[in-house]
Amino acid sequence: MASSKKTSALARQLFKLSLENGRLSEERVGGVLAWVEKHRPASSLAVLRAYRHLVEAELNRNRAVIEYAGDVASSVFAAIAAAMSRRFDRPIEAAPVARPDLIAGLRVQVGCDIFENTVAGRLAALNTVS
């Protein structure tokens, strides 16, 4: 149990070192990975897994995954990213993903927040009611 706490604490420290002005820095992440490779801390694989989890969570916080069906103009993706940036008060980049199984509409995910207005989602909601 104590080693798990130490592993998590080290991963959090490494993650904090990866931030520059509150934003994840690619150069700093590279530096952290080089340090881990050179110094090989105890349970380095577990530390790297915990660190990767923190980095992925941070990347997902700043990315709007926009799932759509059909044709959508690129200006719509830019408008959604701008709206999400205003809503969350931080820069959000759009990551469009085509999903024909949605039938029609959009599903936007920023971190843990999901905004959905799709035909597939509405049909699923109807199935749970009946």
Q: How far apart are CA 36 and CA 14, in angstroms?
A: 9
According to CATH, the topology of domain 63-129 is Glutaredoxin (3.40.30)
Phi, then psi, of 82 in degrees rounded to 5: -65, -40
What is the H or E stretch that residue 111 is in?
Answer: none
Strand positions, DSSP E, 22-86: 23-24, 63-68
pLDDT tens column, 1-42: 456 889 999 999 999 999 988 888 899 999 999 998 888 888
Q: Per-residue confidence at 130, pLDDT binned at 50, 70, 90?
A: low
**pLDDT at residue 1 in the model:** 42
Could you tell me the two tokens for 24?
């994840």
Per domain, the residue ranges of the chain are 2-60, 63-129
pLDDT tens column, 49-90: 999 999 999 988 889 999 998 888 889 999 999 999 999 998
